[in-house]
Amino acid sequence: MSEDCSPDAISCWMIENFKHDHGYREPFKVLISTILSQRTRDENTDEASRKLFSVFPTVESIAAAKPEELYGLIMRSGMYRQKAERIVNCARILLEKFDGRVPDTIEELTSIPGVGRKTANIVLNISFGKEALAVDTHVHRISNRLGWVKTKTPGETEFALMKIISPHLWGPVNGSMVEFGRQICRPVGPRCRDCAISRCCDYYGRISKEDIRQ
């Protein structure tokens, strides 16, 4: 890590050292797998997505299904009843309003119930190559700990980060910051002593060495 503690420099370092593979690139599969990823771990999302798409591989097939037909396939992802309802409803809306295609604007995507800005931004970046910044709990927590922002919600964090991180970094930094948050800057018991950017971190500067050892 260089001496540069700017958001762009740290974002580049995270992208280089904490690589994250989103897996799918097809817009519909990215959209559905991101809905499945809500409040669960990657391995659960991967298994649920694989099982779901092995039986219902297209927007048409999911739209024609009943939510309960998805339960056993996506159970691993948690909240499977709610997610099944959202996924089937999402597929039906795509057919009815968008001719079966996944729209490529934030406004259209977030008009679909169950699709928030985080999900929409992931689809825009991964599937359409657009400059979009997805902010989840990891990105929100780490950005505040570093002292880049002082925000209360992921929504506030998204717009604050867009002002201080270069647009070409918005897409890739999401996945890398998620990995960094899982491995190093954990919600509970962050591994500050193992962190290469601790000298750039407001949180590290505030806590005592005794706190770090615990």
Could you tell me which residues are annotated as the binding site for [4Fe-4S] cluster? Answer: 185, 192, 195, 201
> How distant, in Å, are the alpha carbons of 60, 97, 132 from that of 101?
10, 9, 19
Is residue 209 among the annotated active site residues? no
> Which residues carry a binding-site annotation?
185, 192, 195, 201
Q: Which of 19, 118, 152, 194 is catalytic?
A: 118
Is residue 130 among the annotated active site residues? no
Which conformational region is residue 35 in: left (phi greater than 0), alpha (psi within -120 to 50 degrees), or beta? alpha
The rounded Cα 123 to chain-centroid distance in angstroms is 10
Q: Which of 8, 19, 104, 136 is catalytic?
A: 136
SS3 content of the chain, % helix, strand, coil (to 5): 65, 0, 35
CB count in 10 Å sphere of residue 188: 4
Both structure tokens of 12: 């580049």
Catalytic positions are 118, 136
